[in-house]
Amino acid sequence: MSAAQKVPVVVLGAGVVGLTTALRIQTEGKYDVAIVAETLPTDPKSIRYTSQWAGAHHVYSGTDPTTFQHKLELETFKKLWEMSAPGSDSEECFLRIEESEYFHEISSAETTPLKDMPDFKVLPQESLVPGAKSGATFQTVCIDSPVYLNYLLSQFLAKGGKIARGSLQHIHQIIEGGANLFNATLGPSGQPPAAVLNCTGLGARFLGGVEDKTVYPVRGQTVLVRAPWVRFGRTLYVDGTGAFTYIIPRRSGDVIVGGTRGRDDWHAEPRPETTRDILARGLALCPELAPAEVRTQRTPAIEDVLPIVVGEGCGLRPCREGGVRIETEWTEGVGKRGKVPVIHNYGHGGAGFQASWATADIALQLLEEALASLE
């Protein structure tokens, strides 16, 4: 099918949700997808692009395995597990590990949705870390976020997808003018689209025509440590407030140490006092962060880890009251356009990576249903 015969579609946003959604739709072969985004994975890290700051490991959110969110994460894990298989073309984006999760309640290890993970086992009491009342181990995947995001982008472009860098004030701009407003070289891909997929994350709070005030940031700060000897993950949930400490290794040998949750905290730079707090908590949970030559002589301290700190940063999780918004909204009479569907796919919070493929599948289904209703 030639580009002129394909259905033009625009995806707004190039975070993990936007890239996955665009790739999923472009792979169908009958759509001509253009991503319009202000920031791309190839750009330097900044507070305006949250996905690059993600850890990221796949562990299930919440405690109820019957929720819609759990279904999204369960389906996405199947895809990520397949993508991380030895010999796959995306293997370098992932590291398969044994993850240990420690909980503040005795019953949590018995009832957690993590029971769906490979090789799940409840930890005996003598194996728990200080402060934990129960725990479990299982197999999962860690994602090297910058590598994975660029992999998604390269796959999208290789399948004929297009990119236009731009900043929208109102969603009607793209409905009426198409991606050519920002990149006049796109040809048929840049014409006014048959549909728009809104994957703008935190931007959905400000984008004209959406302006969803139930969207809010939850700031997270992390420290990047060069510790290639750490090839396992650990997470300690401190109490019922959502406070936690985590250790997430990457295939590259870097380890993400976190974390924090600060609702409505927009501060764009790492706070030095928070960095020290994260390292103190991380070292308590995982003394193995310190080099072996230190651990064989004495109990390691923060000063032993500081020389192998290679970065620190913060990102704004795009949360939403009520969770993910994935639904179709119709516009009509924009310029000379008739009815044009806008499929919303945002509000993933800190679960963008672990719900991305499932919500991309739903977005594709909604797209096809909407376009079929216009025939």
How far is 321 from 338, CA to CA, in rounded Å? 31
Which residue from 310, 313, 288 is spatially nearest to 299, judged by alpha carbons? 288
What whole-number distance in Å separates Cα of residue 286 and Cα of residue 283? 5
205 is annotated as contributing to ligand binding = no
Is residue 235 a known part of a binding site?
no
For helices 16-26 and 352-373, give the axis angle rounded to 10 degrees.
40
Torsion of the alpha carbons at 42, 355, 200 and 346, rounded to the nearest 10: -170
Would you state the structure tokens that stand for residue 232, as one six-digit string? 């396992």
Q: How many helices (H) and strands (E) does the chain have?
A: 9, 15
Query: Is 246 one of the annotated binding-site residues?
Result: yes
CB neighbour class for 247 (10 Å; exposed up to 12, middle 13-18, buried from 19) = buried
- Is 50 annotated in a binding site? The answer is yes
* Of 346, 358, 31, the residue nearest 162 (C-alpha): 31
The CA–CA distances, whole Å, from 293 to 127, 290, 300 equal: 24, 8, 10
Binding-site residues for D-dopa: 246, 317, 350
Binding-site residues for FAD: 50-51, 200
Binding-site residues: 50-51, 200, 246, 317, 350
